[in-house]
Structure 1
Amino acid sequence: MRVRHITKRDAANYIDLCKKLDQETKFMMLEPNERTTNLKEQRNYIQSLLGAANSMVFVAEHEDKLVGYLGAYGGEFRRNRHNVYLVIGILQQFAGRGVGTALFTEMEKWARQVGVHRLELTVMTHNIAGVSLYKKMGFTIEGTAKDTLLVDGNYVDEYYMAKILS
């Protein structure tokens, strides 16, 4: 398995990965068939992302297929450019095999190089594997937001988690 920065050539595979994640887990934001991004839009998005100094998507690749990603999206203004919001998705077949750790390790190296000070994310409180990974990578729970998501007709709470890079 290899972790690297996303490229425009990954657009189709990245869309496929995201659609698979939407199908196989309820921990992602989008529900199955809700994702409407086309190939041209995805390429344009990747192009703009690669032009941003404080944003990047890291992909985990196994046998020429994307099996996971970690998106790091930096603040747009002077007051929040040092903040990066994270979103991760890993195919279930590759869960528990070190993919998440590898993605976070690469992202944190990059974050330190580009001057990021704060990493933050949200996670459903019942996502035990996710919370465990984030704690392992040095994140702490800063608070709980009640009823932030509606999943299968039920309101779900989320933890706000963060890590300060010194």
Structure 2
Amino acid sequence: MPVPHIRHARLDDDEALGRLDRATWSPLHSVQPRPEPPYGPFFTERSVPRDHLVAELAGTVVGYLTLGCPTPLASNAHVRQIQGLAVAEEARGAGVGRVLLRAAREEARRQGARRLTLRVLGHNTPARRLYESEGFAVEGVLPEEFFVGGAYVDDVFMGMFL
């Protein structure tokens, strides 16, 4: 499979990203209930196109990564946080997630960040392996922070210096 093209999201990506987000929903990574109709817009006041990197293969959106600030505090402005990552089922295993993570690292640097962090559910072994292979390290764990799919699940904080 070819290397995906990574770009910033545009307003006209709203529908495609919303579909991808719903199609990739899983209790493996989400603490929210499964989305049900009527579906709202993907972009919101708090999550605008500039906060998203989009992966395309042959002009089709196959993944996205949301990059934001963990807090609105000036004292925390040197940190960026990955706040969402999704890859279409048909594109999994083709390096799309890895390319998005590398693009996020570069975008965070471009924005002047010194650190990049994320949170991942403890039982999401594939994501944790990917993050570790890209240089993220576990920096903290909130044991049994969420109750998902009938089980208590850890919230794992991971980070890296840029």
Normalising by structure 1, report the TM-score. Answer: 0.83
Match of 2:132 among 132, 135, 156: 135
Structure 1 stretches lacking a partner, 5+ long: 51-55
In structure 2, relative to structure 1, the CA distance for the partners of 1:101 and 1:43 (3 Å cut) is same
Aligned match of 1:9:
12
The answer to whether 1:85 aligns with 2:81 is yes
**Distance in structure 2 (CA, Å) of the matches to 1:126 and 1:9:** 34
**Distance in structure 1 (CA, Å) of the matches to 2:28 and 2:146:** 11
> C-alpha root-mean-square deviation of aligned residues, in Å?
2.2
In structure 2, relative to structure 1, the CA distance for the partners of 1:119 and 1:9 (3 Å cut) is same
Normalising by structure 2, report the TM-score. Answer: 0.85
In structure 2, relative to structure 1, the CA distance for the partners of 1:127 and 1:10 (3 Å cut) is same
Q: Deviations over 1:7-64 (max 9, x none)?
A: 1110111111111112x5531333322586523x7265554x53xxxxx211112233
Aligned match of 2:35:
33
Misfit runs of 4+, over 6 Å: none
Paired residue total: 157
| 1:11-160 alignment, distance < 5 Å | 11-22=14-25, 24=26, 26-33=28-35, 38-39=40-41, 42=43, 47=48, 50=50, 56-74=51-69, 75-86=71-82, 87-160=84-157
In structure 2, relative to structure 1, the CA distance for the partners of 1:72 and 1:109 (3 Å cut) is same
Q: Please state whether the residue corresponding to 2:147 is helix, strand or coil.
A: strand
**Distance in structure 1 (CA, Å) of the matches to 2:37 and 2:55:** 21
Aligned match of 1:53:
none
Higher-helix-fraction structure: 1
Structure 2 counterpart of 1:76, one-letter code: P
CA contact (8 A) 1:8 1:43 kept: no
Q: Please state whether the residue corresponding to 2:138 is helix, strand or coil.
A: strand
CA contact (8 A) 1:120 1:163 kept: yes
